[in-house]
Amino acid sequence: MFARLFCWIMASALLIGAPRAWAEDGYDLWLRNVPADAAAAQQIGANARSIVGGTSPTLTIARQELQRGIAGLTGATVPLTATVQQGAILLQSAAQQDKPLVPTDGLGPDGYAIRTMTVVGKPVTVIAGATDVGVLHGAYAWLRLARTGAALDRIDMRSAPRIGLRLLNHWDNLDGTVERGYAGQSIWDWWRLPDYKGPRYTDYARANASLGINGTVLNNVNAKSDSLTAAYIAKAAALADLFRPYGIKVYLSVKWTAPMELDGLKSADPLDPAVAAWWKAKADEIYKAIPDFGGFLVKANSEGQPGPQDYKRTHADGANMLAAAVKPHGGIVMWRAFVYAHDNPDDRAKQAYSDFKPLDGQFADNVIVQVKNGAIDFQPREPFHPLFGAMPKTPLMMEFQITKEYLGQSTHLTYLGTLFEETLKSDTLAKGKGSTVAKVIDGSLEGHKLTGIAGVANIGVDRDWSGSIFNQADWYAFGRMAWDTDLTAEAVAREWAAQTFSPDPRVVAPIVAMMMGSREAAVDYMTPLGLAHIMGTGHHYGPAPWVSELARPEWNPVYYHKADKQGIGFDRTRTGSNATGQYAPALAKLLDNPKTTPERELLWFHHLPWDYRLQSGETLWDGLIHHYDRGVETVAAMQRDWAKLKPQVDAERFAQVETFLAIQHREAQWWRDACIAYFQSVSGRPLPAGSAAPAHPLDWYKALSFPYAPGHPK
């Protein structure tokens, strides 16, 4: 024992400050098992001398994760023992115990309890769950405590998610491309599935299970019918088999016209019995291969996708027909509310509500409507979607975008935890104060049992999975906040930084500070004061507020900012498009008045003169420019803060972040300059004192083109 400890201290000493034998390429995500400092290693070792219990596939994973984690952190090999000894970790699934040592009622199928206690006279740690998967989540939670340097000798915690479905949505195409993916090709190697199941799939499942993510939609919402052929069902089944012991179910996006494309049906009318019979048979076929298949995700009658409205039926008609097909198997249908139509002249921000609100109460009980966080499309900032709180009889699930289509794509450091928190904590006022979006989606506001939250994944085959080290934090934050919507973005950032870099407060504090200010910086240099959707056409990379000639009005940035000589902003008040009228009356009243509208959403709801006075006393024009300046300055400050971390961060990851921050700074400047050049060409106003003129004339920015920008479907 002593000798082992000595070797360990020697090994750790050599590792600290010395180059590591393996590359810090980000592959290990937040599950890095690297030597803890001596004191931390000592307490981990003292509280994990052996592991008792569990032989099921899931409990075996729990044990192996603990063994692997402890070995990495302390150098010790932890044995699996049959009897309880001092400092043991006991894995206890109520499903396999007559008399659980720790009560598991109220934990649900996924929750866990961890408690240090005395068993047969010996101090031990019990990790308990009502199910094996609950225990697995508990094992990951214990490892999180260990990796972040928390005390392990006095634990008494219980944690259960309030939201039932915590899902990733992959916008992955069958040809390996990823729509809005900036981390390389799809991780699903469809071509070589179902035979070849590379190690990445298991590591993917580990990463998700460590956060409590319990489902994954494998394919793009812009779905191809082929994913429902026998060959592709077999491929999906191979993935489902791998993910099952991790508590992760698979789901598929479906194309509405699949019965026509695959089997020559004449129609896809949801009320046509032949169509319903086709889907029923298809569901039966899927469940034969994947008995715990989760269900379907559907994008219908949106952006050119077919749907029930093509047959003059409603979204509810369509959803309910599919729901009936999966119902006997316990499946569900997630029906997306992201709809807007080319022939609807109404404000695009109003269209989802207009389509779906009248259907409240008409959906089958295994349908959940999936609503994006805002009414337009994953902008750097959007007010919460007015459907939240407006459909009391219908379960609504949240759709966040983890991939940063509009927030700097792969290179910008824009931590999304703050965006998630802002949305979840928004108060809909639907049933008085405190009717937060979080309470809508966790079902507590209206007493719904079916509850969910989805994040559009930022995962690809890049070694670091997410296109950058810091993008991993967005996947992490999504999973952690899906599990517990009360977690703050800051607490999550702290956990992530401690596990990803080092629990040393001198590392954690500055990294968290960078992360916490980063999304506001992007809002400032891209779309301050409630502006939205002024990015480049198609690829959505970079600024293009001048675009005005695309076929559909609502595709054009000018539609959104409405800047002219007099002022800027979209009038969505009672006297404008009346999108404010879609919010609860008490909130609508506030939003109808620019003085009681949060300034961060000002131009989303109001068209205001350039001389309008902001809270700071400056004019709207000057304030707008100052926001742009501030955004660029914040990125420069992030660069300086990161540079100071050089001694504490491994060279490889330090260099990536340093380079990406330089790109971000350059692009922030570009956003600022191009937007100011354009808005100035419209307003004709001078820049406030101290603000530099754009580096180039407007035409220079307009002439830029990006033919091979990633993530853009051709």
Range 583-610 burial, b when 16+ CB lie within 10 A, else e: bbeebbebbbebeebeebbbbbbbbbeb
Q: How far is the CB of 613 from ligand BDP (least distance, A)?
A: 35
CB closer to ligand BDP, 172 vs 179: 179
Q: Which residues contact 64 (CB under 8 A, 6 or more apart)?
A: none
Site residues for ligand BDP, 46-75, by CB under 6 A, read none
CB 521 within 8 A of CB 638: yes
Which member of 303, 486, 564, 611 is catalytic?
A: 303
Can you tell me which of 30, 204, 378, 583 binds ligand BDP, judged by CB under 6 A? 378
156 tagged catalytic: no
Write the secondary structure of 220-270 as one string of H (helix), E (strand) and C (coil).
Answer: CCCCCHHHHCHHHHHHHHHHHHHHHHHCCEEEEEECCCHHHHHHCCCCCCC
Burial label for 292, CB within 10 Å (0-12, 13-18, 19+), is middle
Backbone phi, psi, residue 124, to 5°: -140, 175
Beta carbon nearer to ligand BDP, 64 or 537: 537
Which tokens belong to 88?
């043991």
Site for ligand BDP in 218-257 (CB under 6 A): 221-222
E strand or H helix at 157: strand 156-159
Q: How far apart are CA 295 and CA 15, in angstroms?
A: 48
Return the number of the residue (303 or 504) whose C-beta is nearest ligand BDP.
303
Spatial CB neighbours of 534, under 8 Å, sequence gap ≥ 6: 526, 527, 543, 544, 545, 557, 560, 561, 675
Residue pair 441/398 in contact (Cβ under 8 Å)? The answer is: yes
Tell me, by CB under 6 A, how many residues bind ligand BDP: 10
For the bound state, the minimum distance from the C-beta of residue 565 to ligand BDP, rounded and expressed in Å, comes to 31
Options 132, 179, 382, 592; binder of ligand BDP; rule CB under 6 A? 179
State how far the Cα of 63 lies from the Cα of 84, in Å rounded to an integer.
15
Does 622 contact ligand BDP by CB under 6 A? Answer: no
* 275 DSSP 8-state letter: H
Minimum distance from residue 555 beta carbon to ligand BDP (Å): 11
Residue found by looking up tokens 């990161």 in the block: 642
Q: Counting contacts by CB under 6 A, is residue 464 touching ligand BDP?
A: no
CB of 405 to ligand BDP, least distance (A): 6
Interacting residue with ligand BDP among 377, 464, 520, 629 (CB under 6 A): 377
Choose which of 63, 147, 170, 180 interacts with ligand BDP (CB under 6 A).
180
x/- site string to ligand BDP, residues 300 to 339, per CB under 6 A? ---x----------------------------------x-
CB of 161 to ligand BDP, least distance (A): 25
Marked catalytic residue, from 24, 132, 317, 405 = 405
Smallest distance, Å, CB 176 to ligand BDP?
17
512 makes contact with ligand BDP (CB under 6 A): no
Residues in Cβ contact with 637 at an 8 Å cutoff, skipping those fewer than 6 apart? none
Q: Is 618 a catalytic residue?
A: no
Work out whether 382 is an interface residue with ligand BDP (CB under 6 A). Answer: no
Of 107 and 453, which CB lies nearer to ligand BDP in the complex structure?
Answer: 453
CA 666-667-671 angle, to 5 degrees, is 125
Q: Which residues contact 562 (CB under 8 A, 6 or more apart)?
A: 568, 569, 570, 571, 607
CB of 710 to ligand BDP, least distance (A): 12
CB 409 within 8 A of CB 667: no
Asked if residue 496 lies in contact with residue 477, where contact means CB atoms within 8 angstroms, the answer is yes
Which residue of this chain has its Cβ atom nearest to ligand BDP in the complex? 377
Question: Toward ligand BDP, which CB reaches closer, 175 or 303?
Answer: 303
Residue 633 bears catalytic tag: no
Closest distance of CB 221 from ligand BDP, Å: 5
Q: Which residues are annotated as catalytic?
A: 303, 377, 405
Which stretches of the chain bind ligand BDP, using CB under 6 A? 179-180, 221-222, 299, 303, 338, 377-378, 405
